[in-house]
Amino acid sequence: MHLISRAGRSRWSLLASALFALLAVSRAHAAEAIDLPPFGPAEIAVLWVVLVFALMAVGFGLWLRAWTLKQSPGNERMQEVGRAIQDGAYAYLKRQAKTMIWFVLLITIGLWLLYTPVYKDKPILAVGVAIAFFMGVGASYFAGVVGMDMAVKGNMRTANQALTTFKGALETAFRAGAVSGMATVGLGLLGAIIIFLLFKQDAMKVLVGFGFGGSLAALFMRVGGGIYTKAADVGADLVGK
């Protein structure tokens, strides 16, 4: 466990260093962001069409989730194992959220302070970058939570379907996994389109915050998930011995 703790501290230190480096690079290249030409009626119409498709992706993901949850979760033994896995997964997500929120708030304020002197003529852009960053983190983390939730619930239903039909098991597994894909695509596209509709030709300057936030949340989940998985492996080995 001591080795795991040291590995965890090392990973978080590396992550913090990478974040500050990314902030510095982001500010250095902020002035070089692409200025788009003014949007006409055709461009605005395309944005609204894309917004509809983003909402359709989210809606389709909700339908797939509802369909998956209608399937039988299996016998009592399957549900018991599934609940144990679900409790462990939710405990990890709650602990990660409590740890990550302070980093997210700190970087949100840092982005606002860093971009304020860059966009002196349009201070709303600095606020937009900070808010877009927070939106990106929320969208990415929510997509990850949805994916983990459906992975646990889909596992039970897929295992139960496999007892009777492989076709049903494949269909259940595919649709449960597609929920995460629809959430990732739908929320990402939805956030980007909202930024374009609000900021129009300045959207590229704000979009960098949204992309940074989404990448940060994914990085947090990747690093934290690796530590959690290693701890679970060591715990299983100790129980086995």
pLDDT 10s digit of each residue in the chain, 241 long?
444 445 455 555 555 555 555 555 455 455 455 677 778 888 889 889 999 999 999 999 999 999 998 988 878 888 888 888 888 778 878 888 888 888 888 888 888 888 888 888 888 888 888 999 999 988 888 888 888 888 888 888 888 888 888 888 888 889 988 998 899 899 999 999 999 999 888 888 888 888 888 888 777 776 665 655 666 566 555 655 5
Those residues whose C-beta lies under 8 Å from the C-beta of residue 240, and which sit 6 or more positions away, are: none
Under 8 Å between Cβ of 60 and 224: no
What gap in Å lies between CA 196 and CA 203, rounded to an integer? 5
Q: Is 173 left (phi over 0), alpha (psi -120 to 50) or beta?
A: alpha
Under 8 Å between Cβ of 212 and 136: yes
Compute CA 10 distance to the chain's CA centroid, rounded to the nearest angstrom: 23
